[in-house]
């Protein structure tokens, strides 16, 4: 974050350095003109100040139940988005301003009624920090008028504030009066629903009923257990008596009934007497004897009578089944009676158990629906409580609103009135500040216009950011060292129109070291294969590409490599001027076969050969895009260790792209102050779309004072070569890292 801020500051500082002449040229005239105008034309102004203290009385929120009670005051300035700003806007509002103007009959310089817009321009309303106070100021040429305006404005506002809160109270009262009947109906409805629920479900107190039901169910369970124990005891006794009697309970009851019936017992006695008589007579008479037959008939008749009477006593039981048992002893009668008693007791206990179980089931069923009933009751009770609470609050707020409506309640009070000012504003200071501000604004506007219209590249960082190409070298401007000479070396050329061969003429200068570093960087651009043939071009003319090509060729030749420098710029050739060579025979002549390549190439220094452009042809593009040129390129690559081709700028011709297809790479030269962002971007895009191997860019003619990074090693032109190389590498390294 800090580095970004420092970069922005540096960027603005560089703009100021570049534009300081127009900045001063605009600032001082505007400053002087503004100062004279303010001094002679402006009348003295007087400012009166008054103060208002604010506290909150939010009548509406308190009356509707959302807020504090009426009369409780709260500070404003502690809240976010302080309401003091809102109150300041109310003071500046049109109704209050118009009423103030009307009361004071304020007029402007033309003796016309002052317009609200003009009034507001002279009015200042702002809050005092960390307080609940607003300061109201008005500026006027008349001190009495300024004080009168402030006091009148504050009075109008206070009246408006009180009226506003009174209207709020009235609005709240009206709203509550309309809502009360509706809320009352809601209360009645909720109470009716609760009463209907209790009546339908026979509810008094569900909590008590639940407790009692649990106690009753527990008691019933205890009684059922006791009855079941008694039933088991009775069943055991009945089983034992059954075993002693040898009959079931029904049969025992029948025998007991028969034995206790007089009619049955009388017939039974007669049958027994008749059977005794018949048995006695059979001892003397035959079975077919009339007396025997008569006795048998009587016996049969008595048995039929016995059967009928037995039927009447015991029901469907036949006398034959009970014969022999129709008379029982006293013990049997006692056991039979006890068996009957036990059976009756058992039936009673069974009935009691069934009744208790049914009652218990009913209580359990009621207990199961208790949670649902409790839930429904709670919901209905909540409705009743909510409606009753709302109704009670509305009644209370209705009384409060009626009281508030009849009170003069406001959240603003007059803290101090405006006094008539006895001194005007410090017009001299204000004039100087105003004139300075106008001058600065004019200067900034001028700088903005100049920067907006200037599309040129100014620094190394801009070139890197714009193109995104690898930075292979930074060549400082020759003017930085034009006046420096050395007793052991030749002075640099002072003619500004001719490029200078600094690597040859001043080999220990920083510029020479820059070219040697470029030479070293080119060696590392391709790790697999060493470069032998490159094309050097630029986006626009006058970027120094020919100078870069010539000095790079010298740097390559100093490594004892056989180097050929070809001037491929057939539009504006320059290499014959740099090397002071004739241009009667050159590249164009060799291509068309008018000259031999061996005679056209000139040796300018050890290991360095130059092929000039030759006679300028009418159609250079067709020559450079010919098969003859492609063959020449192969010949150059075969006969020389390193070949550099100087081509025209890309906005002049596309020859660089054509020759780049035949070479191993293209080196783009960018000169700050000459190249612009549009042409440079188009040139880079052209190379990329044509499939060129762009080795990188060389920033030429760097103006040291415009660069962000330190170039202190350029302070002196001559120093030991090793030290210069180290310093330059450090600087380039810092640029790459940024």
What does the pLDDT look like over 522-568, one tens digit per residue?
Answer: 888 776 678 899 999 999 998 889 999 999 999 999 998 899 999 99
* Cα–Cα nearest to 724, from 507, 520, 523, 525: 507
Residue 53's CB is within 10 A of a number of other CB atoms, namely: 14
Predicted pLDDT of residue 590: 93
Stretch 575-593: mean pLDDT: 92
pLDDT higher at 363 or 725 = 363
pLDDT higher at 571 or 250 = 571
CA distance 265 to 322: 13
Q: What is the pLDDT of residues 612-649, one digit of tens each?
A: 999 988 888 888 889 999 999 999 999 999 999 999 99
- Residues 7-45, buried b or exposed e (16+ Cβ, 10 A)? eeeeeeebbeebbeeebeebbeebbeebbeebeeeeeeb
323: pLDDT confidence band, cut at 50, 70 and 90? Answer: very low
SS3 of residue 601 by DSSP = coil
Stretch 55-66: mean pLDDT: 51
Say whether pLDDT at 510 is over 70. Answer: yes
Q: Give the helix/strand (H/E) hosting 137.
A: strand 133-140
Predicted pLDDT of residue 332: 65
Q: What is the pLDDT of residues 372-383, one digit of tens each?
A: 877 877 788 788
Q: What is the pLDDT of residues 105-131, one digit of tens each?
A: 888 878 888 888 989 888 999 888 888
Q: What is the pLDDT of residues 153-181, one digit of tens each?
A: 999 888 888 887 777 777 888 888 888 88
70: pLDDT confidence band, cut at 50, 70 and 90? Answer: very low
Query: Residue 710 in contact with residue 731, Cβ under 8 Å?
Result: yes
Query: Residue 68 in contact with residue 397, Cβ under 8 Å?
Result: no
CA distance 477 to 511: 8
Q: What is the pLDDT of residues 291-321, one digit of tens each?
A: 888 878 888 887 777 777 777 666 644 444 4
Q: What is the pLDDT of residues 452-472, one digit of tens each?
A: 666 677 788 788 888 888 899
Q: What is the pLDDT of residues 11-47, one digit of tens each?
A: 666 667 666 777 777 888 887 887 677 666 566 778 8
Predicted pLDDT of residue 641: 93
Predicted pLDDT of residue 56: 63
| Least confident range of 354-358, 380-384, 408-412, 551-555 | 408-412
| Least confident range of 76-80, 276-280, 640-644, 728-732 | 728-732
Which long-range contacts link 447-450 to residues 24+ away (Cβ below 8 Å)?
447/15, 447/16, 447/19, 447/22, 447/23, 450/19, 450/22
Give me the chain's average pLDDT, please: 78
DSSP assignment string, 159-172? HHHHHHHHHHHHHH
Predicted pLDDT of residue 408: 58
Say whether pLDDT at 196 is over 90. Answer: no
CA distance 272 to 298: 12
Predicted pLDDT of residue 385: 86
Say whether pLDDT at 727 is over 60. Answer: no
């Amino acid at each position: 974050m800090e580095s970004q801020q420092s970069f922005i500051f540096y960027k603005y500082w560089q703009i100021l350095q570049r534009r300081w002449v127009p900045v001063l040229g605009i600032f001082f005239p505007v400053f002087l003109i503004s100062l004279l105008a303010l001094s002679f034309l402006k009348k003295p102004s007087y400012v009166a100040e008054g103060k208002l203290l604010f506290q909150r009385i939010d009548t509406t929120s308190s009356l509707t139940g959302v807020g504090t009670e009426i009369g409780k005051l709260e500070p404003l300035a502690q809240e976010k988005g302080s309401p003091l700003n809102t109150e300041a806007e109310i003071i500046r509002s049109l109704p209050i301003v118009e009423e103030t103007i009307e009361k004071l009959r304020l007029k402007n310089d033309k003796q016309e009624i002052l317009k609200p817009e003009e009034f507001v321009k002279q009015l200042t309303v702002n809050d005092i920090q960390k307080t609940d106070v607003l300061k109201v100021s008005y500026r006027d040429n008349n001190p009495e008028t300024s004080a009168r305006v402030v006091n009148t404005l504050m009075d109008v506002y206070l009246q408006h504030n009180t009226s506003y809160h009174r209207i709020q109270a009235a609005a709240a009262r009206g709203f509550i009066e309309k809502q009360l009947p509706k809320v009352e109906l809601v209360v009645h409805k909720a109470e009716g629903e609760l009463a209907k629920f209790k009546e339908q479900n026979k509810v008094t107190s569900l909590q008590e009923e639940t407790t009692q039901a649990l106690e009753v169910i527990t008691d019933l369970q205890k009684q059922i257990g006791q009855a079941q124990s008694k039933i088991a005891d009775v069943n055991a006794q009945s089983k034992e008596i059954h075993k002693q009697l040898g009959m079931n309970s029904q049969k025992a009851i029948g025998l007991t009934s028969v034995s206790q019936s007089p009619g049955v017992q009388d017939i039974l006695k007669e049958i027994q007497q008749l059977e005794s008589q018949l048995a006695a007579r059979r001892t003397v008479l035959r079975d077919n004897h009339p007396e025997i037959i008569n006795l048998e008939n009587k016996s049969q008749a008595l048995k039929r009578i016995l059967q009928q009477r037995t039927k009447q006593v015991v029901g469907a039981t036949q006398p034959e089944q009970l014969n022999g048992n129709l008379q029982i002893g006293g013990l049997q009668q006692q056991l039979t009676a006890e068996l009957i008693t036990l059976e009756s007791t058992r039936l009673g206990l069974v009935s009691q158990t069934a009744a208790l179980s049914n009652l218990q089931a009913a209580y359990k069923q009621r207990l199961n629906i208790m949670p649902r009933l409790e839930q429904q009751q709670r919901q209905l009770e909540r409705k009743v409580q909510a409606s009753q609470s709302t109704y009670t609050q509305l009644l209370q707020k209705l009384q409060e609103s009626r009281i508030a409506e009849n009170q003069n309640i406001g959240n603003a009070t007059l803290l101090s009135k405006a006094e008539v000012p006895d001194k005007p504003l410090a017009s001299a200071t204000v004039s100087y500040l105003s004139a300075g501000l106008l001058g600065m604004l004019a200067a900034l506007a001028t700088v903005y216009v100049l920067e907006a219209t200037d599309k040129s590249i100014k620094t190394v960082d801009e070139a890197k950011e714009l193109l995104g190409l690898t930075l292979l070298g930074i060549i400082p401007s020759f003017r930085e060292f034009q006046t420096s000479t050395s007793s052991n070396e030749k002075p640099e050329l002072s003619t500004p129109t001719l490029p200078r061969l600094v690597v040859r003429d001043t080999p220990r200068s920083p510029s020479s070291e820059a070219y040697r570093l470029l030479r070293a960087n080119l060696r590392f651009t391709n790790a697999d294969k060493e470069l032998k043939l490159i094309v050097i071009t630029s986006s626009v003319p006058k970027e120094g590409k020919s100078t870069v090509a010539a000095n790079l060729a010298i740097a390559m030749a100093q490594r004892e490599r056989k180097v050929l420098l070809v001037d491929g710029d057939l539009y504006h050739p320059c290499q014959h001027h740099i090397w002071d060579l004739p241009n009667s025979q050159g590249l164009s002549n060799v291509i068309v076969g008018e000259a031999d390549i061996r005679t056209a190439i000139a040796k300018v220094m050890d290991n360095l050969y130059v092929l000039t452009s030759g006679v300028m042809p009418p159609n250079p593009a067709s020559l450079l895009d010919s098969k003859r040129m492609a063959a020449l390129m192969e010949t150059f690559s075969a006969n020389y260790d390193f070949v550099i081709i100087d081509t025209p700028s890309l906005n002049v011709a596309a020859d660089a792209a054509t020759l780049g297809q035949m070479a191993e790479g293209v080196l783009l030269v960018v000169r700050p102050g000459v190249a612009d962002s549009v042409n440079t971007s188009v040139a880079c895009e052209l190379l990329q779309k044509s499939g060129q191997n762009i080795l990188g860019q060389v920033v030429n003619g760097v103006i040291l004072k415009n660069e962000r990074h330190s170039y202190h090693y350029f302070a002196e032109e001559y120093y030991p070569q090793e030290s210069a190389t180290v310093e330059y590498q450090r600087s380039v390294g810092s640029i790459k890292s940024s």
